[in-house]
A and B are shown apart, each in its own frame.
Chain A
Amino acid sequence: MSKSSISEPTRGFKWIAAILVAFYSLVTIMPLLWIVATGFKSSADSIAYPPKITFQPSLEGYVNLFTTQTRQTKEFMAANPPKNWYEEIVHSKGMVIAGPSRFGERFLNSTIIGFGSTFLSVLLGTMAAYAFSRFRVPLKDDLLFFILSTRMMPPIAVAIPIFLMFRAVGLSDTHAGMILLYTAVNLSLSVWLLKGFIDEIPREYEEAALIDGYTRFQAFYKVVLPQAATGIASTAIFCLIFAWNEYAFAVLLTSGTAQTAPPFIPTIIGVAGQDWPAMAAGATIFLLPVMVFTILLRRHLLRGITFGAVRK
């Protein structure tokens, strides 16, 4: 850029900004790195004091996370030598693998409930937002305010009534119940976010499509949706992050069948006290789906919004 450019910050300013950003990223990413590292430590290393920065990496935590183990007699151990690398790890502690742990199921629950409720929140949110944005809905402002108001108190404040209601109608500890709950909590966010995005899409596009021979729904589907992609992607990410990380309701309303990963991970108990590497391994794996989802949708988030084709 030339020196005379007025919008371009100076070189020194750019450096300061870069350093600040780098410092901030470091501070926020440290705990994360620590968790990832802990997942690869041995039990002893994970609680060593002072904490170890360098260590001999081990998959013990991951093996513990995915298996349940029992202690066996020396004779049994000698008679059954380990057949592969993970049995070897367990063997060296004087234990044998009794079977898979519950983590896989819990992770699957998280996936079903997280993505299921995200899909529903975004689907319903998009349609509601479109209606609020385009049609004359009676009591529109009041309805919108009502939808927003469901966000004004902390959801956990209604935990007890919801607990009782879920028990009464048999939704406790079911996938459907959790999907319903998270969808309800996320809807206010998705309606409001998406309404903002759809409001920005000029009506002329749909009007043109109506005249070009399409029905209102086809115009919505072919013209509005592609242009709302940015909004839909960011809304989906927000909804997923909430549903994925939600802890309080999950603890209260699920215990087995539908239990998600967040309440499960802290219950991982090792042979002697808390098994930190296993918990850290669980947390690491738990982070991945949201990360991947966000990276996949990043293209839509970053793509410039293309409103340039209407003459203002």
Chain B
Amino acid sequence: MADVVLQGIEKKFGSVLAISNLNLEIKDGAFVILLGPTGAGKTTTLRLIAGLERPDSGDIKINGHSVVKNTPAQRNVAMVFQQYSLYPHMSVQDNLAFPLRSPTLNFSEAEIKSKVNEIAEVLQIKDKLNNRATALSGGEMQRVSIGRALVRNPSIYLMDEPLSSLDAKLRADLRLELKRIHAQVGSTLLYVTHDQTEAMTMATQVGVLDKGQLVQFGTPREIYEKPSSLYVASRLGLPRINSLPADLFSGAPRGAIKMGLRPEHILQGKGKLASVIRIEHLGDQTRLHLSLEGFNIVTLTDSETKLAVGDKIKIQPNNALYFDANGNRIE
């Protein structure tokens, strides 16, 4: 259990600037989620903290001590790799026991066995313990690799899209399980995901990365309700926020160029006339694709809707977000 501080981190791969001037403070016991499109530097951030990469400049502190010169083993972190890499020549059991058998720890075989069994239970892979690591499905491999991180008590857990290849039910189960472990053990977690539900339900804070820079850091609600820019606003929310010209509707503040309109922030029944171009029934929500003066807008409606393609409805923004020419939000 520890707090982690990144100060002015910069990391280049050849001429590619993967991370630039990254400052991040992860409090002891925090569950921080990193969001960002592909190539934003999320994995690189985790690898820097783990000690698999050296920063070109800046400092990384764990529990107040600079660790940039330490080996991964000395930093005592656990990591779930994006490309989960089980040791192919070992059984699932041995894969899970491998971190516990490390020379830095000193567990008896009986303790190792009970810890491995406990984790296997949690991850629902108990019946696969004797399989070879290669004789598993993708989702099972992913769970073993989560298990390999969870068997230990590191100063911080780093998880790179750990639930990405699981089915919806297992994902929901493990989401709860991770939350429970986090709450129970009070561990510090840094977690990468593209999944909105994971970000909104698990995180104590969300950090949004753009091209190697941290553009906003705050609670999930802050990120969702008060995004600092249109870029951040479009990281969260499904369907995505509608990005429209600010003057499409009246009421834009001075200097606003763009308006961000979340699907649930569109009132139906008054305002401007838009025509329905598509209706998607997703089960839990029904999406309405509209066209207004040549702009596509997505909003939600109830599943019993009588609307059909070609119908016209009136819409009006409610709680729109406004952004200036640089994409920054105007209060």
List the interface of chain A (C-beta within 8 A of B): 202, 204-205, 207-216, 218, 223, 226-227, 306-312
Contact = CB atoms under 8 A, between A and B. Distances in A.
Interface string B63-95: 000000001110011110101111111000000
A198 to B, nearest CB: 15
Contact of A208 (B76, B81, B152): B81
A215 to B, nearest CB: 7
Contact of A215 (B71, B98, B132): B71
Contacts of A207: 52, 72, 81, 85
Interface of B, secondary structure class, is: loop
A204 B88 contact: no
A307 B85 CA distance: 10
A226 B89 contact: yes
Interface residues of B, number: 33
27 contacts: A204-B81, A204-B85, A205-B85, A205-B88, A207-B81, A208-B79, A209-B87, A211-B50, A211-B52, A211-B72, A212-B148, A213-B73, A213-B103, A213-B104, A213-B105, A213-B152, A227-B88, A306-B88, A306-B132, A309-B87, A309-B88, A309-B134, A310-B83, A310-B84, A310-B85, A311-B84, A311-B138
Contacts, number: 82
A212 B73 CA distance: 7
Please provide the 8 A-B residue pairs with the shortest distance between their CB atoms, ordered closest to farther. Answer: A213-B102, A204-B85, A212-B99, A306-B88, A309-B88, A309-B86, A210-B72, A308-B134
A191 B193 CA distance: 41
A134 to B, nearest CB: 12
B141 interface: yes
A216 B148 CA distance: 19
A205 to B, nearest CB: 5
Contacts of A209: 87, 98
Contacts of B315: none
A215 B73 contact: yes
Contacts of A212: 78, 98-99, 102, 148
Nearest to B82: A311
B133 interface: yes
B13 to A, nearest CB: 13
Contacts of A307: 88
A308 B52 contact: no
Contacts of B77: 211
A170 B71 CA distance: 46
Contacts of B141: 309, 311
